[in-house]
Chain A
């Protein structure tokens, strides 16, 4: 790189800074998906572009009512899915709390009479159900899910509290992904724009998104509860579901 003054090849060095600058900009644009994704969560999300896509096939889940279904065929209703793991003490309880507030504010658990038998639950005013889905298949068992659900639907008077919680929270199911390979689950969830990372301690960090899946199994909308207030989230949800 030793240079000689006023020699003709010297002229060509003039374009070098522009080439380097252009290369830097191209690399940064590529890495941030056009300056739209700076974190791993947003990068995976922007890269996957999940809105309008069908939920990946073969992703089976076990629900708290012991049924086994595919995530892309949850029934003839919209489902708002929060993907969490139960041992989490950071973001997941907040996501579940938000789901609980949505459940309450949209009156998804309304009955003719709070004291009547639980079979009298009315159809939901919105064609919507909620789901807390655990991706931690290694540690979250069905009994853990049921126990977790009881926290939200506790009924001390019920003879069988498990059954009571299942009935009371019939529009809010708790489920866990069913597979024995983490790479498979990671691949499927990545297709939905969901990112997660396991710390050495066994804890996870993951995207906080809520996925609205329509009756055809298509991801209709994705909400970030960290960016939306409860009121904004519910208003958007009403618009998207109705």
Chain B
């Protein structure tokens, strides 16, 4: 898509994008890593969002596919990546080891990129199932972390874990509401004869 833009506009947007990526991955990384809720509730979504932006505006024309197999593969990769980096042992490793932290950033960025490059062509049922699953995963994790009095991530504190729990719980609910609205608008656009089939 970006290829169709005015060259100077595209260059400015690309530059701004690179600056944003640098800020999230490098410059503010110590600040994000200082607390568990900044690391997961802020840095994770930002990395995925930046990946999504690249995937949608830069790579979609090359990667977009109608194949349901590829859609499922991307969803499995996305959910698997998120599950991996949500493991307390992975969170600790990323907090302690810079190389692991860079791997995390790269993995989440690529996950967002792949997801955004395929999302538009996914069937609405798959989109909704994915969003519903993702939001459920987030708010259940939030509910557990918010209530648990056991520190899971040794590189952080219990208070930070509880704060993260409340953020994830609220974030999960917001995402669920968004998913329902999204599905509603999609269904409203589908012609009645298609629905009856």
Q: Chain A: residues with CB nearer than 8 A to chain B?
A: 1-3, 5, 10, 13-17, 19-21, 23-24, 27-28, 31-32, 37-43, 195, 197, 199, 205-206, 226
Contact = CB atoms under 8 A, between A and B. Distances in A.
Contacts of B69: 13-17
Interface SS of chain A: helix
Contacts of A14: 69
Contact of B70 (A1, A23, A43, A197): A1
A20 B80 contact: yes
A20 B84 contact: no
B89 interface: yes
Nearest to B30: A200
A24 B62 CA distance: 25
B63 A43 contact: no
Given A2-B62, A24-B84, A40-B155, 9 more contacts: A1-B64, A13-B69, A17-B73, A31-B89, A31-B90, A38-B89, A40-B92, A42-B89, A197-B96
A194 B83 CA distance: 25
Given A13-B67, A39-B152, A39-B154, A20 B76 contact: yes
Contacts of A42: 89
Contacts of A17: 69, 72-73, 76
Given A20-B80, A24-B80, A197-B154, A38 B87 contact: yes
A10 B70 CA distance: 11
B131 to A, nearest CB: 18
B62 A1 contact: yes
Interface string B43-85: 0000000000000000000111111011011001101100110
B137 to A, nearest CB: 14
